[in-house]
Amino acid sequence: MEITAEMVRSLRERSGAGIMECKTALTESRGDPEQAFQILRKRGLASAAKRSGRITSEGTVASYIHPGGRVGVLLEVNCETDFVARTAEFQEMVRNLAMHIAASQPRFVAREEVPEPILQKEREIYLAQARSSGRPEAALSKIVEGKVGKFYQDTCLLEQPYVKDPNQTVKDYITAVMAKTGENIRLRRFARFALGEALAAEATGSHAPVSAEPA
């Protein structure tokens, strides 16, 4: 199948990869854009893994206020150099992440941040639910772990489906930007504020969700 310039352009806009990388992926996938995108994602993850050990001492602290002024987000995103921190790609990514946080209400950056007492409580709830539904005892452990995985997807920012493209996770989106900038990028911490949330938390004895990655 002929690989057209329009096919390359479309894949490049979606993936953030270079022209030749897109053309090669389309050639390997015989013109299938979805398969080509998956090829680029796998290669991007491999490249990101090589960069993940690099120091990220630059970046930005940014804020976002959702229209109407009822929800706000403050976040820190790090990269390797001030040059990349000032690029349009990086700044757009930071704003998109802030908008995602405002919309999707994550509680933690990554699953490693979830406190063990919270996980233990969730497992107890899932186990009780599974038993009350009459599931076989031998299947309970698998059912509970499946629900824990869903809990991570719901509450951990990096594992949530990205609001602008639910076919990829937030981590996938950041990885695509890493491939485009050539630098390691780290979403270090965030806080989400909703109008009246603190009052509701005080009334129930809980706390408003604020997440920060351990230093």
Q: What is the CATH number of the domain that holds 145?
A: 1.10.286
CB 40 within 8 A of CB 21: yes
Mean pLDDT of the chain, nearest integer: 85
Domain span including residue 65: 55-114+156-215
Percent of the chain with pLDDT over 70: 84
d(CA 97, CA 48): 18
Q: Tell me the per-residue pLDDT of 129-167, one tens digit each, with 9 for 90 and over.
A: 988 888 888 888 899 999 999 999 999 999 999 999 998
Question: What total number of domains does the chain contain?
Answer: 3
Q: Model pTM?
A: 0.69
Q: Which two tokens stand for residue 58?
A: 């630059």
Whether residues 47 and 108 share a domain: the answer is no
Q: Tell me the per-residue pLDDT of 176-203, one tens digit each, with 9 for 90 and over.
A: 898 888 888 999 999 999 988 766 555 5
DSSP state string for 138-197: GGHHHHHHHHHHHHHHHHBGGGSEETTEEEEEHHHHHHHHHHHHTS--EEEEEEEEETTH
Whether residues 165 and 59 share a domain: the answer is yes
User: How much is the pLDDT for 47?
Assistant: 59
Whether residues 12 and 79 share a domain: the answer is no
DSSP lists the bridge partners of residue 58 as: 79
Q: Tell me the per-residue pLDDT of 76-88, one tens digit each, with 9 for 90 and over.
A: 999 999 999 999 9
DSSP 8-state code for residue 52:
T
CATH of the domain at 215: 3.30.479.20
